[in-house]
Every structure is written in C-alpha cells, then in structure tokens.
A and B are shown apart, each in its own frame.
Chain A
C-alpha cells in the first residue's frame, strides 16, 4: 500500500520513530476499507444494462400494456430504494435518486397514456406530476423539488389553457395558494407566486374575453397576499411585484407603439374601474408597504391605451423610471433593478419612435451612443453612491 511504503521511507530517513510507525499502522489497519468495483465489472454492467434496454426497446410493441407500465413502475421503485441506501450508506446523492424516481413516475404515466390511448388534451398527467412534485417538496424540503413543482405547474397551465374549466382553474389556484402559505421557504414562495400570476392569464380562456388588461388585474389581485405574509417575506416578494409591473408597463408600451391593437376590445368602464382599483392599491401601499406604491401607475394603463401614438405610455414609463432611480438614489437603495428598467424603457421608446425614421446605420450609431451614455450614467451613479473621491 502507498502509505506503508511512505512510512518505511520516513522511518529510514529518521523522520519518525518506530513507535510512531506502529501507531500509524495500527490506526490505518483499523480504518474501513473502501470497496471499489473493478473496472471490468463496471463496463460489464453498463453493457448488460444497454443490452436489457435494447431488448425491451426492440420488443416494445409486443409487450402487453400492463407489463410496459409495470416495468417503468419497477424502475421507479429501484430509484427510491437506491435513494434510501444512498442516504443510509453515504454514497451518491439521495436527492438525485429521488428526482430520478419522480421522473420514472412521470414516465410511467406517459407510458400508461400511450399504451391505453389517453387523449393528449387530458390534464390528468400534468396534475399528477404537479401534486407528486409538491408532495416531494413537503416530504424532503429540497429546492430541486421547488423547481420541479414550478415546471409541472407551468405544464398544467399550458395544457389547460385551450379549454380550462372554472373548477379546474379554482383548484389550481387553491393548491398553489396552499403551497405559497405552507412552504415557509423563499424560493418556494417566489415560484408559487409566479404560478399564481400565470393562473390569472387563464381568465382569457375561461371567460373568452378580449380585455388587454387581464395581466394588470392579475397583478392587482395578488397585492392582498402581501397583507397576510410575514414582514421578511414581504421584503422578498416586493421586488417581484415591481419587476412584473415594470415588464407589464413596457410590454403595453411596446404593443401600443407597434400595433393598432385591433385584436383587443378597449372598454372605458373597465378602464375607470382599473383606475379606481389602482388608486386603492396606491393608498393601501402607502400605509402598509410603500415600495409597492409604484403599482398604482398601472391603474391608468386602461386610459393610456386609447392613445394611438403611445406617447402617454412612453411619458409615464420614462417618468416612473427616472423617479424610481432618483428616489432609490436618495434613499440609498440598490439601483440595479431601476437602472435595468430605465435602459429597457429607453430602448423600447427608441425602437418605437426611431426605427422607421432613421437610416439603418444611423439607427445603430445612435443606439450605441445611447447605450454608452446610459452606461456612463450608471457608472457615475454607482461611483457617487460608493462615495469615491477622484
């Protein structure tokens, strides 16, 4: 053994005495020996597994449906058993085996769906995967299952979108809300919040309405959640509201500026109600969580969409960007989010109003200068904030 040879070398050089050599030998022989699989055995196992899988694949059509499903379920159990021993005997990562077990559950549903001709429009498979992912999350509390739950939730939303019913929609919101409140974990709250936001978009499909204001209504509907969550979670969630609000305002600006919006129905009564609710949210935010006061601006989008030139939206986007930056700078708050929003607003306005009026080369030249100036402003603001002295 390597350490045996080294010990003899150190002993002959007089670096350690015989007593130390014996103590080290006694210690090392007591250590549990690492069992390594011989290389040939590993290669043999890989080839055997490949042979088994190719045999199954070649005869897949001839295998009875129940046996197909049974094989995948067996594979699922193998991974959960491996996860158990991985935890007990400290090899590999139990979470990886559990994720593989969960994946095999999904595979068994897909195989069952294929073998028994389950319609692709059925939402049974996405629902089963969503509930199973959430159950995995609550059992093992691992972020990997937060992400898997989010992805499976998105798959329900996309599978349900064409013909979702009111009950299924309500059920999805109830399950996601339960995840939001019971998780008590930052990433899980963020991802469940995003699913709640996504579920609002299904309103278009459920009631078959053409209102362009659904995203804003959804965001407003999520504001009361802030009243229920604890203070530390309010801090975590507030940027999500602002980022979503910013994205919505810029998207409305881009769509209004670049299209005639013939595909939607603008409704003055809805715009008035939205403005009233927006004002209510502004007042609520003023008393409870001031950082969200910006959302009140979205209440006026309904009116601003009537302006075909999109100048009103452009001015509001520009003013909110500037005001946010100035206030954040004065209050010594992080500027990154505000600055990204500011840059995006500049470029959307630039594309809307300059694209058709400029020669292509001039367009890019001015764009580059704009980016250069904005970067300079960012550098200057950052420098000022850090209190650098030139």
Chain B
C-alpha cells in the first residue's frame, strides 16, 4: 500500500493548496487597488505583470522591513491602508515596506495571458481586484486597465 501513499499525499497537498485559495474568496472581502505595472517574464511560470501600488503609502514612523497591514475602501472606491504595524496582529496582511512603498509578496505580480503583459504595461493605470481573507491571506482575482 505504501506505493500509493506518495501520490495520495501529494494529491491532498495540491487539493489543500487550491482550497486555501478558494477559501480566501469564500470568507474574505473584496478590494480594488490602484496599480502601476512593470513587465518582466519568468521562464518558469510564464508572463506576469510586476505591480506597485501608489495608494499603499506607509505613514511616517514605520521602519523599512517587514510590516503588517489591513485595507479599507476609500471614498473613491479604491483600497487604502487601514492599519499598519511593525508587529503582527490577527487579520493582518504580511508585507514589507521600502522607502514609503508598501507591498505584499502575493500582490507583487499577477500572471496574465501570454502577450497581455505589454498591453497592460502600455495602459500604465491599472486596477487589481483582490480577495482578502479574515486571517490575512490574499487572492488576486483580476487585473484590468483603470478608467477614472
């Protein structure tokens, strides 16, 4: 029976990974973030857009490095930082700050269809829709040019 243990465990692991992504959407809240792209290509994963978020600004007094933050919707409908700390707290997104810019590992890049990267890069003003789970994990859902 041990020969079936590995494929079974591996299937369970892939299943849990996929369920964890869906769970973020099932139990989480949706936010739309203003985003700006730059466009590299990863030979392993394919084409993706590297993103930075102009609205995710760290207030003065927060040091560069690992930070923890939550989001809230501003009056214009786009997400901004609600609470930011240098120590972890429940529901916080785990990210890091460098020179006022705040980013989380899962917000940094967005995989897109082959050939769509340059188009999004040319659009410059983008919006990214994400789901944020109550426990702080993120699931990027969609990316599109921003119309303001």
Contact = CB atoms under 8 A, between A and B. Distances in A.
Report which residue of A61, A69, A84, A117 has the largest number of chain B beta carbons within 10 angstroms of its beta carbon: A117
A339 interface: no
A84 B7 CA distance: 12
B72 interface: no
A205 interface: no
A80 B6 contact: yes
Given A117-B109, A117-B140, A110 B45 contact: yes
Interface string B92-115: 000010000000111111110110
Nearest to A116: B21
B87 interface: no
Interface string B46-70: 1000000000000000000000000
A209 to B, nearest CB: 16
A121 interface: yes
Contacts of B11: 73, 76-77
A213 B107 CA distance: 37
Interface stretch (A6-14, A131-139, A233-241, A303-311): A131-139
B3 A84 contact: yes
A76 B17 contact: no
B6 A117 contact: no
State the majority secondary structure of interface residues on B.
helix
B89 to A, nearest CB: 18
Given A112-B14, A117-B110, A117-B139, A80 B7 contact: yes
A101 interface: yes
Given A117-B111, A117-B140, A136-B6, A109 B44 contact: no
Report which residue of B10, B104, B140 has the largest number of chain A beta carbons within 10 angstroms of its beta carbon: B10
Interface in B1-24: 2-7, 9-11, 13-14, 17-18, 21
A89 to B, nearest CB: 14
Contacts of A83: 3
A139 B106 contact: no
A2 to B, nearest CB: 39
Nearest to A113: B45
B95 to A, nearest CB: 11
B124 to A, nearest CB: 20
Contacts of B5: 139
Contact of A135 (B6, B14, B44, B107): B6
Contact of A109 (B6, B17, B108, B109): B17
Contacts of B44: 110
A120 interface: yes
Report which residue of B14, B42, B96 has the largest number of chain A beta carbons within 10 angstroms of its beta carbon: B14
Contacts of B13: 128, 132
A243 to B, nearest CB: 32
A131 to B, nearest CB: 9
Interface in B101-139: 104-111, 113-114, 139
A294 to B, nearest CB: 41
A114 B46 contact: yes
A84 B105 CA distance: 40
Nearest to B66: A163
A117 B11 CA distance: 20
B51 to A, nearest CB: 11
B113 A112 contact: no
A76 B12 CA distance: 13
Interface of A: 61, 65-66, 69, 73, 76-77, 80, 83-84, 101-102, 105, 108-110, 112-122, 124, 128, 132, 135-136, 139, 163
